[in-house]
Structure 1
Amino acid sequence: MKSRCNLFALCAPVVTATLLYAGLATVATPALAASPSASTVTRTLVIEPDQGLTPIYNLIQSATSTIDMTMYELVDTQAQSLLCQAAANGVAVRVILDQNLEYNNNLSAYNQLNSCGATAVWAWTKYDATHEKSIVVDGTTAAIMSLNLTSRYYSTSRDFAVIENDAADVAAIESTFSADFASQTITPPVGDDLVWSPTNSKTQLLNVINSAQSTLQVENEEMSYSTIVTALENAAKRGVAVTVCMTNDANDYATEFNALKKAGVNITTYAETAPLYIHAKAIVADYGTANARAFVGSENFSSASLNYNRELGLVTTDATILSQLNTTLSSDYAGGTAW
């Protein structure tokens, strides 16, 4: 992990809804097949740096009873202040912060939160890192993010967050949070569409890649996990149009890029000093077809991320999110330099 960071059912016909806290248009779809009795589910994609942190800040401010946050790196005075304000207003605020890799960066927030009525704990050292970035408000709404709440990166980092009210997903995140908060072993429930490390992430990511029939669009911060690299190569060899867009940090992945290119994968990169830094972890498969699905989350394509970290993402077939991801990833790819 670099210092920078650092099931599927097709959607039924949609109706438009609005998430007031985010101030963004969303698509509401019936819950996926795993929760047939659940009420209507809404999902919103937040795109960074384009939209700024207002949707995330508004989500925190919307809390009336509880906030449960797991954050790899928390260095954002506004977010920290909002968490303290929530605690002062009687909201039970619990925060898990990574200590294995980010102790020094997180220490100020840890001390502030514990002095203002919130409860912050250090993440369980069982994991190489707790790289998850999630927020659950009032036990009903969750943000599943690739971004850390670290303000110095907001203006340049390509990142995504999905804000949703899927009851099965929220319950799964909450039960896992409670176990992690107490440093207790748990096999995280998958809800309707969750991708967890170190349990099912490798399988889920490979399912998305291996099931692709026409296209794969990929953004990630790391490309060192050979199983993923091989799956992308094999996709290209079987005729899938595969594009990869990444920040090229000191040619860290030259070997992997060369192997991917030889297999027919098209790659563009950004210099580490470019105005846009690809921190996102996203895949869009078969956009525009009945098989279309996307992954968004905290998982990098590395052994540590998939096998040894606490990570969280999700797979979605939401048509609006797919469209937004396709537009963003296509633009990023077009703006990069061909490898």
Structure 2
Amino acid sequence: MVRTTLRRAAVALAACATALTFTTPAHAAGTYSAFAFSLGSSEPTIYDFINSSTRTLDMTMYELSDSTAVSDLVAAESRGVQVRVILDGTKTSVNDSAYNTLSNAGVGVVWSFSQYVYTHQKTITVDGAESLVLTGNLTAKYYPTSRDYGVFDNDANDVATIEQVFDADYNGTSITPGDGDNLLWSPTDSRSRLLSVINSATSTLDVEEEELGDSAVVDAIAAQAQAGVAVRVVVEHPSSYASQVAQIKNAGGTVVGYSSSTGYYIHAKAVVADYGLPSAQVELGSVNVSTNSFDNNRELGIILTDTGVESVVENGFNSDYSGGTPA
């Protein structure tokens, strides 16, 4: 028991030190940097981004329950920034306070488009020039115990696409999103785009997911293990996905898990293929490995190749894999 407690403490300490950033090589269309959530009581990296806005700020957020972030949004509006926010309309118990505070301050805030079961996307775009794509919500009570990542993206095609989709969702109009240079969306192409990353792996495949329920994705992970790719999976509540875990293990992969009862929660949604190779790819965003997430929600993720972002995710993954319980 003492050994387990110490191991989990080490995981948490290692994760606190992962606010690292890497800039992409010159061949890419934009620059990209990543960070892991700090496992503290606040997320200064996100606040700094909000506070950097000078003209516009557009936010889509499944859950917004962070008084600092809300205050920063109000302050941005007060200094002349046009702030617009979409909050998921099914999470009123979580989002009501932020919605009312923003609305009373003159911020343009709306409930999500009813076309989607959940607007689960977590994105902030500043000045129409840079977007922050997150796996985590702005829910302060979960910061100290949740594994999550974020990627800054200033690729012009990505940002323009994110803004086009924001405008449509903010106004409650239908749109079929483009992918820019690096994006994947639900409910359109997120499954096929994620499968392209999984199927690209030739050497290693590391998967860190809160949910593991979609059969097409699990089949692809197992197929890679069967083909000799070194597959490692970290999942929250593996007992909820017993058949999927067994399928991956029987194919030759390894799976470790966490439970919220331990105080450490795998909320991330991320995949790294062929880490350390020039062809290395990373996918992360709001998209869970679930049928609902792929087919019915508004979700956004990003896929990057050989940018350095994969190092941030891989470092977090290795810490979590080492600290997890074999499933």
Measured after TM superposition, the shift of residue 28 of structure 1 is: 3.9
Output the amino acid matched with 1:79. A
The TM-score, its normalising length taken from structure 2, stands at: 0.91
Give unpaired runs (5+ residues) of structure 1: 1-22, 36-40
Q: Aligned partners of 1:109, 1:31: CA distance in 2, in Å? A: 41
Give SS of 1:252's match.
Answer: helix
The answer (yes or no) to whether the contact 1:49–1:156 under 8 Å persists in 2 is no
Alignment of 1:40-119 (within 5 A): 41-50=30-39, 53-100=43-90, 102-119=91-108
Output the amino acid matched with 1:29. P
Say which of 185, 210, 215 aligns to 1:221. 210
For these two proteins, the number of residue pairs brought into alignment is: 308
Give SS of 1:295's match.
Answer: strand
CA pair 293-112 structure 1, distance change in 2 beyond 3 A: same
Deviation string, structure 1 residues 209-262 (Cα, Å, up to 9, x no partner): 11111110001110111111111110100111110001226x211121112211
2:224 is matched with 235
Say which of 138, 163, 174 aligns to 1:149. 138
CA pair 31-298 structure 1, distance change in 2 beyond 3 A: farther
Q: Aligned partners of 1:244, 1:57: CA distance in 2, in Å? A: 31
CA pair 307-31 structure 1, distance change in 2 beyond 3 A: farther
1:138 is matched with 127
Q: Aligned partners of 1:31, 1:197: CA distance in 2, in Å? A: 28
CA pair 84-285 structure 1, distance change in 2 beyond 3 A: same
Measured after TM superposition, the shift of residue 283 of structure 1 is: 0.2
Q: Aligned partners of 1:92, 1:183: CA distance in 2, in Å? A: 19
Give unpaired runs (5+ residues) of structure 2: 1-18
The answer to whether the aligner puts 1:308 opposite 2:301 as a matched pair is no
Output the amino acid matched with 2:245. F
The answer to whether the aligner puts 1:122 opposite 2:111 as a matched pair is yes
Output the amino acid matched with 1:311. E
2:22 is matched with 26
The answer (yes or no) to whether the contact 1:169–1:190 under 8 Å persists in 2 is yes
Give SS of 2:308's match.
Answer: helix
Q: Which runs of structure 1 show a deviation greater than 6 angstroms over 4 or more consecutive aligned residues?
A: none
Bigger relative CO (Cα 8 Å, ≥ 6 apart):
2
Q: Aligned partners of 2:208, 2:184: CA distance in 1, in Å? A: 17
Aligned-residue sequence identity (percent) comes to 44
2:249 is matched with 261
The answer to whether the aligner puts 1:293 opposite 2:289 as a matched pair is no
The answer to whether the aligner puts 1:326 opposite 2:314 as a matched pair is yes
Output the amino acid matched with 2:280. A
Measured after TM superposition, the shift of residue 319 of structure 1 is: 3.6
Measured after TM superposition, the shift of residue 271 of structure 1 is: 2.1
The TM-score, its normalising length taken from structure 1, stands at: 0.88
The answer (yes or no) to whether the contact 2:270–2:283 under 8 Å persists in 1 is yes
CA pair 90-320 structure 1, distance change in 2 beyond 3 A: same
Deviates more, 1:280-289 or 1:265-274: 265-274
Deviates more, 1:288-297 or 1:235-244: 288-297
The answer (yes or no) to whether the contact 1:221–1:246 under 8 Å persists in 2 is yes
